[in-house]
Amino acid sequence: MYKRERKEESLLIVEEEFTKLVHFCAQMTKNKDVAEDLAQETILIAINNISTLREPERQQAWLFGIARNVCLRWLSAHGRDNAHLVQPHSLYLSEETAHSSPEESVADEQDVELVLERKELIELLDRALALLPSQTRTVLIQRYVQDSPLAEIAAELGTNASAVAMRLQRGKLTLRRILTQEMREEMALYTPDTTSADWEITPLWCYNCGRQRFLGQRDPVEGKLLLKCPLCSPDPNEVLNRNYLPVLKGIRGYKPLYSRLAVWCNHYYRSGLETGSAPCIRCGRVISAFIQTPENFPAWMRNTKDMRMWMRHPDDRYIAIACEQCASASVTSLEALILESPVGQQFLQAHTRIRILPSQPLEYHGRATLLTRFESISSTATLEVISDYETYETL
């Protein structure tokens, strides 16, 4: 009889928390439209599993733990759904999108990366909160996650608002110490100096070797994004990926930056290869797009500082869009272009640590082609793409 009464009382408390759950889900997902549905799902899961609650005094923490997991699952699914929405049926842009500007083509993909990065930060914060004393953690969650008034928290704890305010202050200081000291390296991946002239560790893994995280420099005012791998480009003056683009302005996170860059590159280089020309990124002149080995690049290109990396692989053929008038050149590899396609980005989202395998020439339906391969470092997953040898068209 007692157990049944306790269960009914618990179910009533769960239902009374619905308004707070809606607010919590809205804060977690940044989407008010789905918050009520997620809160309802939380309530349903809680009701079906109320018998597993061993400590009734921790019911609120248990309930919001369920809500957190529900929101994280939604965030993950939301990211995947958005990725599918921006994918055309081929590896490159549809005819309709090809006539739009790169700036108009990147918003959805950037949103996906912002969602995923926010999910990672939520998980990191959750781990930091777990290191706090139980009462301190509860007070912080009630105040800053559930947005409960100080008086309400004080009443629940049987104390006064001043004591709660003091506990909140101490809790914030302890949480800051954990994040800035014990979790300093992990936090540095998400909160580096955005205008630093020094190289900083990024959350992105090198896709060439899969063994090191990229080092990066960025400036959201200039639209600057530089990436290099300590193993693949050890020369201090060598940069694997150098970009100063208007489309990157205002973006701070490395993952959203790379996501936006990928969509822009897919549009820019694919359009250039299809039409044989593209606008210079510096002066806007329409210039030729071509595929060549570095030794066959124009002489003025071979003398630029970024060419030393390409010249180390004299037999590889790169995509180049070069403007002699302003001495500006955009160069990329077939492997990078495939990774910047929607299918490549989907593979990278599912497998953050990958490496490029040696490409293989082969004959496909009577055509000379190249087989480009990528493999996951942490699983057996692979991505294989066949491209026409002459045009790099995906087959």
φ/ψ (deg, to 5) at 49: -125, 20
Tokens of 126: 């959750």
302 inside domain? no
387 inside domain? no
φ/ψ (deg, to 5) at 242: -120, 120
Which 8-state DSSP code applies to residue 394?
Answer: B
Is the pLDDT reported for residue 11 higher than 80? no
315 inside domain? no
Show the domain range for 80: 2-188
Between 304 and 355, where is the model more confident?
355
16 inside domain? yes
How many domains does the structure of the chain reveal? Answer: 1
The pLDDT assigned to 334 comes to 93
148 inside domain? yes
7 inside domain? yes
Confidence of residue 108 (pLDDT cuts 50, 70, 90): very low
Tokens of 266: 């897919």
The pLDDT assigned to 76 comes to 66
The pLDDT assigned to 12 comes to 53
d(CA 395, CA 391): 11
The pLDDT assigned to 269 comes to 94
Range of weakest confidence among 74-83, 167-176, 260-269, 328-337: 74-83
Between 355 and 305, where is the model more confident?
355
d(CA 14, CA 117): 30
Q: How many CB atoms lie within 10 A of CB 64?
A: 22
Range of weakest confidence among 79-93, 188-202, 226-240, 290-304: 79-93
CB 25 within 8 A of CB 42: yes
379 inside domain? no
Is the pLDDT reported for residue 42 higher than 70? yes
**The one-letter amino acid at 93:** L
CB 66 within 8 A of CB 58: no
The pLDDT assigned to 16 comes to 64
Range of weakest confidence among 55-64, 242-251, 260-269: 55-64
Pairing state between β 367-376 and 382-388: antiparallel
Between 395 and 77, where is the model more confident?
395
Confidence of residue 103 (pLDDT cuts 50, 70, 90): very low
d(CA 277, CA 258): 24
The pLDDT assigned to 368 comes to 93
CB 164 within 8 A of CB 157: yes
Is the pLDDT reported for residue 84 higher than 60? no
Q: For the residues 32-61, what does the mean pLDDT come to?
A: 77
What predicted TM-score, i.e. pTM, was given to this entire model?
0.57
Between 135 and 337, where is the model more confident?
337
Is the pLDDT reported for residue 304 higher than 50? yes
246 inside domain? no
Q: For the residues 294-312, what does the mean pLDDT come to?
A: 76
Cα–Cα distance list, 25 to 38, 40, 65, 80 (Å): 7, 10, 11, 19
d(CA 214, CA 123): 22
